[in-house]
Amino acid sequence: MNNSKISLTILTKNESDVLKKNLNWIDQCPAINEIIFVDDESTDDTLKTIRSLKFKNCHIKLFERKLNHDFSSQRQFAISKTSNNLVLWLDPDEHPSNEIIGLLNNIDKHQYDNYAFLRSDIFLDKELKHGETSSQYFLRLFDKRYGQFINQVHETWQSSKPVRNFDFPIIHHPHSSLKTFIEKINFYTDIRSQELHNRGVKTNILQIIFYPLAKFIQNYFLRLGFLDGTPGIIIALGMSFHSFLVRAKLWTLQNQS
């Protein structure tokens, strides 16, 4: 077990074009000596692209495993294949800022078990500085000995150790088009509604009406999403629609059982 190096884990599903754009930073970060890819039955050139990747000091490991609507299980599987205690996890449409790369390359100077970073969302070619994810910290670097992933979707690392927040951004290009934005909302709300149903959570017509409305007011007005212009209102309405679909699908599931 190498305690001075970092393993990077990435889950993929038809990410060939995205991977080609977002991994150019690896050679600037010798602290990362392996990348664990876990692919969920890609039908494009993702596997071919991963196998063609070459980095100076970084070994590539590729595994094929069906997601089965459980991101936490998929990420735990990726962790089980790592050789280091420190693990960084990113999505294919993310890459670290220069500040994070600098931190990774000097990780021995820090004594933390969990590292959380800000995230900078780029939506429709505009950086979103307000709204849902503004000023939120995301735990992305951790010691795998002290925690586990929870939640089937929107998974998070739950640790018994404290978290140190860093004001360094992860650059995120979440949606290449409005079409993919809507497709992802539909996909993730399928998983989330089923997860809530399995837990015995119930919903009703008042929640179906007012949860999406509250979500929009929170993101667009209280979190100043209107300052992000047209992309700001599109993302606020999209996340409100996400809230609506979760509860509408949950209501359908509870009335089928």
Q: Find residue 60's DSSP bridge partners.
A: 35
DSSP for residue 133 = T
Domains of the chain: 2-172 (3.90.550.10), 178-256 (no CATH)
- Whether 2 has a pLDDT exceeding 60, the answer reads no
pLDDT of res. 187: 97
pTM to 2 decimals?
0.94
pLDDT tens-digit readout, 134-170: 889 999 999 999 999 999 999 999 999 999 999 999 9
Residue with the larger pLDDT of the pair 177 and 247 = 247
Across 29-36, average pLDDT: 98
* Main-chain phi, psi angles of 248, to 5 degrees: -65, -40
One-letter identity of residue 131: G
Distance CA(256)–CA(81), nearest Å, equals: 39
Nearest CA to 26 out of 95, 127, 75 is that of 95
Distance CA(74)–CA(152), nearest Å, equals: 9
Nearest CA to 170 out of 126, 100, 119 is that of 119
